[in-house]
Structure 1
Amino acid sequence: MRPLHQRYTLYSERNDTYIFVPEGEAQSLTINRTSGDITLNSPKYTVPYAAQRSQKAIYGILGLISLTLSMASIAGPSSCFNEDFFVAEYVVVITGRNLQGQIMGHDIYRATEFDLLPLAPVSALVPPHPVESHLLALVRSHFNGGNFLFSYTWDLTRRLQVQWQSRDADIGKAFWEVVDDRFFWNKFLQTKLIELATAQPHAAYGSFILPIMYGTFAIRPTFLHGRHMYLALISRRSRYRAGTRYFRRGIDDQGHVANFNETEQILLVEGQTTHGTVRAQDDSFASKLSFVQIRGSVPLFWSEINTLRYKPDLQIMDLQQTESAMHAHLTTLKQLYGPQALVNLVNQKGHEKPVKEAYERNIAQLNLPDVKYQYFDFHAECKNMRWDRISVLIDQLKDDIDKQGWFQLNIDQPKPVKVQSGTIRTNCMDNLDRTNVVQAAVAKYNLNEQLRALGILSNTDGVDDFEAFSKDFREMWADHADSIAKAYGGSGALKSDFTRTNKRTRKGALEDGYKSVMRYLKNNFFDGARQDGFDLVTGSWIPRKNPSSSLFLVTDPRPLVTRSMPPLASFSLFMICAGLTLPRSSDYSLFYYFLLWFSLFAVAMVYIIIHGIDYVSWPRLNPPTEVIYYNGPGYRSAHHGKGLHGKDEPSWKKTNWAAKVSRRTKSIVDEVELGSVKKRVD
Structure 2
Amino acid sequence: MVDSLLSMEIYESFNLYSHPEKFFLEPTDLGGAASSKHYLEIDRHTNVMRIIDSRKQRIPIAETDIKFIYGILGTIKLVSGYALIVITKASLIGQVNNHNIWLIQDTEIIPYKKTTLHLTEKQIRFNRMFSDMLVHVLSIGGFYYSTTLDISRTFQWLQENAVPLFKTRSMIDRASDRFVWNGHLLSQIRQVPGAERYTLPVIHGFIGQNRVNVNGKEIKLTIISRRSIYRAGVRFYKRGVDSDGHAANFVETEQIVEYDAPEKHLTSFVQLRGSIPLVWSQKPNLRWQPTPTMKPTDDQLAAFHRSFSWHKQHYGGKHVIVNLVNQKGREKKIGGELERIARQANIDFVRYHQFDFHKECHAMQWHRIDLLREQLSQEIQQFGYFYLSPTSIEHSRFQRGFFRTNCMDCLDRTNVVQSMLARESLTEQLRMLGILFQEQKVQDIPLLESLFKHLWADNGDECSRQYAGTGALKSDFTRLGKRTYIGAMNDGVNAVSRYFRNNFGDGYRQDSIDLFLGNFLVDSSDLPSSLEISMLSTDQNGLALIAALFAMSMTILCLLVADNFTATIFWMIIFFVCMLFIFLNGEEFVNVPKLKQD
User: For this structure pair, what is the TM-score category when the shorter chain's length is used for normalisation?
Assistant: over 0.9
In structure 1, the residue matched to 2:396 is 417
**Secondary structure of 1:326's match?**
helix
Shift, 1:305, TM fit: 2.0
**1:143-197 alpha-carbon deviations (Å, 9 max, x no partner):** 111310011111111111111222224322211011112111111111112233x
Q: Deviations over 1:69-112 (max 9, x none)?
A: x4xxxxxxxxxxxxxxxxx2111111111222222322211111
Name which one, 1 or 2, has greater alpha-carbon Rg. Answer: 1
Question: Would you say the 8 A contact 2:104–2:141 is kept in 1?
Answer: no
**Residue 372 of structure 1: CA displacement?**
1.0
Other-structure match for 1:194: 190
Inter-partner Cα distance in structure 1 for 2:353 and 2:505: 35
2:3 aligns to what?
none
Choose from 169, 172, 178 the match for 1:176. 172
What is the correspondence of 1:295-374 to structure 2 with a 5 Å cutoff?
A: 295-337=273-315, 338-374=317-353
Supply the distance in 2 between the matched residues of 1:180 and 1:623 (Cα, whole angstroms). 26
CA distance in 2, matches of 1:94, 1:13: 19
Quote how far apart the aligned CAs of 1:556 are.
3.1
Q: Distance in 2 between matches of 1:320 and 1:350?
A: 22
By how many angstroms is 1:352 displaced?
A: 0.4
Q: Say if 1:301 and 1:319, in contact at 8 Å, map to a contact too.
A: no
Q: Which residue of 1 aligns with 2:77?
A: 66
Question: What residue is the counterpart of 1:493 in the other structure?
Answer: 472
Mapped partners of 1:416, 1:511: distance in 2: 47
- Tell me the TM-score normalized by structure 1: 0.82
Pair 1:153-2:148 in alignment: yes
Deviations 1:259-287 (A, max 9, x none): 00000011111227xxxxxxxxxxx52x2
Distance 1:366 1:425 in 2: 17
1:606 partnered with 2:580: yes
**Quick one: which of 131, 136, 144 aligns to 2:131?**
136
Q: Aligned partners of 2:95, 2:453: CA distance in 1, in Å?
A: 20
TM-score, normalised with respect to structure 2:
0.93
Report the alpha carbon displacement of residue 413 of structure 1 after superposing the two structures with TM.
3.7
Give the structure 2 partner of residue 108 of structure 1: 101
Deviations 1:545-604 (A, max 9, x none): 414x4222122385344223334333433333333345x7xxxx4123313422332232
- Single out whichever of 357-366 and 425-434 deviates more from structure 2: 357-366
The residue matched to 2:472 in structure 1 has which SS? coil
**Aligned with 1:346: secondary structure?**
coil
For 1:117, the equivalent position in structure 2 comes to 110
Which residue does the alignment assign to 1:18? 23
Counterpart-to-counterpart distance in 2, 1:406 and 1:125: 58
Matches of 1:320 and 1:577, distance apart in 2: 49
Q: State the one-letter code of the partner of 2:130.
A: L
Q: 2:177, 2:109 → 1: CA distance? A: 24
Alignment of 1:570-609 (within 5 A): 570-582=549-561, 589-609=563-583
Amino acid at match of 2:132: A
**Offset of residue 124 of structure 1:** 5.7
Identity of aligned residues (%): 35
Alignment of 1:219-618 (within 5 A): 219-271=209-261, 284-285=263-264, 287-337=265-315, 338-547=317-526, 549-556=527-534, 558-582=537-561, 589-618=563-592
Residue from 25, 39, 43 that aligns with 1:32 = 43
SS of corresponding position for 2:88: strand
- Structure 2 vs 1, CA of residues 375 and 123 (structure 1 numbering), >3 Å: closer, same or farther? closer
Report the equivalent of 2:204: 214
Q: Measure the CA separation in 2 of the matches of 1:565 and 1:112.
A: 42
Partners of 1:412 and 1:135 lie apart in 2 by 52
Contact between 2:206 and 2:459, CA under 8 Å: does it hold in 1?
A: yes
- Any idea what the Cα deviations from partners look like across 1:307-343, whole Å, max 9, x if unmatched? 1010213211244543333212201212222211111
Deviates more, 1:148-157 or 1:238-247: 148-157
| 1:157-168 matches, cutoff 5 A | 157-168=152-163
- For 1:57-96, list aligned pairs within 5 A: 57-68=68-79, 70=80, 88-96=81-89
For structure 1, the 5+ residue unaligned runs are 71-87, 273-283, 625-682
Give unmatched runs, 5+ long, in structure 2: 1-6, 29-34
Q: Deviations over 1:107-140 (max 9, x none)?
A: 2111111111112342469665222221111111
SS at match of 1:384: coil
